[in-house]
Amino acid sequence: MQHIATTYRIDLPAWLGDELAHVPDVIEEPSDRMRLVHRLADRNWREGSGGPFAALVAERDTGRIISVGVNVVLAGGVSSGHAEVVALGLAQTRRGTWDLGAAGAPAHELVVNWRPCIQCYGATLWSGVRSLVVAGEGPDLEEITTFDEGPLGDDWAEQFERRGIHVVTDVLREEALAVFRAYRQSIDRGGPTVYNARQGDTEETP
Ligand SMILES: [Zn+2]
């Protein structure tokens, strides 16, 4: 074999530098952390970097921001480049460890603008974060955007809790839906690519 790739990398889009230039290192108010996530998610799809998703990792108790991530599937050409995976990887890189829950480390929190997809569910479980904060859950995301989030069990939050990851939902939920709706309206006008639309299984839930 002579033509295999031996490395791949994930880069945050260049526009994030401008966007974060005036964001403080510490965001004490949890809802303000989500507000930042929504802002990044909205700009992300408008810039063509990927889907309307963003995430950040913070120290839960102090609000110190350790990393941010956005969906870079389109910009990076890697299907796993979801916001959560990017934010967790960058946080672990900054901390110098694969385990954000290592002994002596502050409790880390992952903040995302919707319940993770099935891939990011696993990534979150293995990351060492002690809490997950999401703007919302439920079918709204898939209905509005047509993204396929995968077959996640109804007990997803319970499984997190059993592994010591506290789940907080419904933080600025309407603001999340507003981002998804703006994205969808743009698609309907022939705008951005939906790279992972639901296909085949079009069964409607009542
Ligand atoms: Zn995901």
Distance 114 CA to ligand 1 centre (A): 10
Distance 119 CA to ligand 1 centre (A): 5
> What is the pLDDT, as a whole number, of residue 205?
45
Distance 121 CA to ligand 1 centre (A): 7
The parts of the chain modelled with pLDDT lower than 70 are: 199-206
Q: Residue 70: CA atoms inside 13 Å, Cβ hemisphere, count?
A: 30
> What is the pLDDT, as a whole number, of residue 99?
97
Distance 1 CA to ligand 1 centre (A): 32
Distance 115 CA to ligand 1 centre (A): 9
Distance CA 51, CA 26 (A): 26
CATH classification for the domain delimited by 25-188, as one of 1.10.10.60, 3.40.462.40, 3.40.140.10, 3.30.230.70? 3.40.140.10
Q: What is the mean pLDDT of the chain?
A: 93
Alpha-helical (H) ranges within the chain are 15-20, 30-47, 73-76, 83-95, 118-125, 140-145, 156-162, 173-188
88-135, pLDDT tens digit by residue? 999 999 999 999 999 999 999 999 999 999 999 999 999 999 999 999
Distance 82 CA to ligand 1 centre (A): 5
Distance 108 CA to ligand 1 centre (A): 19
> What is the pLDDT, as a whole number, of residue 204?
47
Q: Which residues are within 5 Å of ligand 1 (an ion), measured at CB?
A: 82, 117, 119-120
Distance CA 97, CA 128 (A): 10
> What is the pLDDT, as a whole number, of residue 95?
96
Can you give the residue ranges of every domain in the chain? 25-188
pTM: 0.93
Nearest to 53 by CA among 76, 26, 29, 72: 72
Distance 196 CA to ligand 1 centre (A): 11
